[in-house]
Amino acid sequence: MSKDLFSNQSDIYARYRPGYPPELIDYILQFVAGRDTAWDCATGNGQAALLLASHFSLVQATDISGKQIANSKKHPRIQYAIAKEESTPFAEQSFDLITVAQAYHWFNFKGFKQEAKRLLKPTGVVAVWGYSMVSSEYDKLNEMIAIFYNDTVGPFWDAERKYVDDHYRTIPFPYEEFPAKEFFMEVQWNLEDLSGYLNTWSSVQHFIKAKGYNPVDELRSDLQMAWPLTESIVFRFPLFLRLGRIRK
């Protein structure tokens, strides 16, 4: 079963996590035959589900965190439910597409594959993606964020974080794979936005539990000293994708 590491900060997760580019969904849909139903597994607050709702008649969006579901983005074609990735209430061969956004590295891979095999239609597709380190055009800010990531909270990342650092190249993906493609997400953020995003990191929450204080507060003061003479700047995230079908 996947880990629930985001319930405690579900409100700031919904506010500060970046959205996914529509071009990502457009690319995935090239490999998907049907447009009836999709399952967004580990939906969080529904960012990916909302994009899928523009293309499918029905999107089933599940997460193990009730607090994440409570902060989800509502849409008439999205139905939210609490469920594990390896155990859902859905009928066999229900879905044309199964997606996992920025969560696959936490999964029970074997259990999820068995459930995906049960739920996918014969031509159905599994698509998983994630994104890694944020950066800007300002080297000093990038250096400070990198030190925070690797040194300050580095020891507090769960072991599964290595898959994100590897851009999912080393993650188990036992499917008949299609060509993948890399994308970028861009956001226009001020210092509050960046600090809010950093507070969504699971490593920061682990640090707070262990040390009793929030390391983002100190970093924010340092970032403020180095912030350029503008209120907001562009930050970029590299986004990586793997997709395929169940092997017959």
Spatial separation of the C-alpha atoms in residues 191 and 95, rounded to whole Å: 41
* Predicted local confidence at residue 109, as pLDDT: 96
Q: Which tokens in the block code for residue 73?
A: 């983005």
Query: Rounded to an integer, what distance in angstroms lies between the CA atom of residue 166 and that of residue 146?
Result: 16
Q: What is the pTM of this model?
A: 0.91
> How wide is the angle at C-alpha 24 spanned by C-alphas 20 and 29, nearest 5°?
130
Give the integer Cα–Cα distance in Å for 124 and 236. Answer: 31
Domain locations along the chain: 10-136+159-187+236-245
The first and second tokens of residue 242, run together, are 């793997």
Q: Give the residue among 87, 109, 100 at the shortest CA–CA distance from 47.
A: 100
Q: From first to last of the 248 residues of the chain, give the pLDDT tens digit.
A: 555 544 555 567 668 888 899 999 999 999 999 999 999 999 998 999 999 999 999 999 999 988 889 888 899 999 999 999 999 999 999 999 999 999 999 999 999 999 999 999 999 999 999 999 999 999 999 999 999 999 999 999 999 999 999 999 999 999 999 998 889 999 999 999 999 999 999 999 999 999 999 999 999 999 999 999 889 999 999 999 999 999 86
First to last CA, the chain: 25
Q: Looking at the DSSP assignment, which residues form a beta bridge with residue 97?
A: 38, 125
Predicted pLDDT of residue 48? 95
Instruction: Please give the class, per CATH, of domain 10-136+159-187+236-245.
Output: alpha beta
Give pLDDT, residue 2. 59
Residue 99: predicted pLDDT = 98
Longest dimension (CA), the chain: 57
Q: What is the pLDDT of residue 9?
A: 55
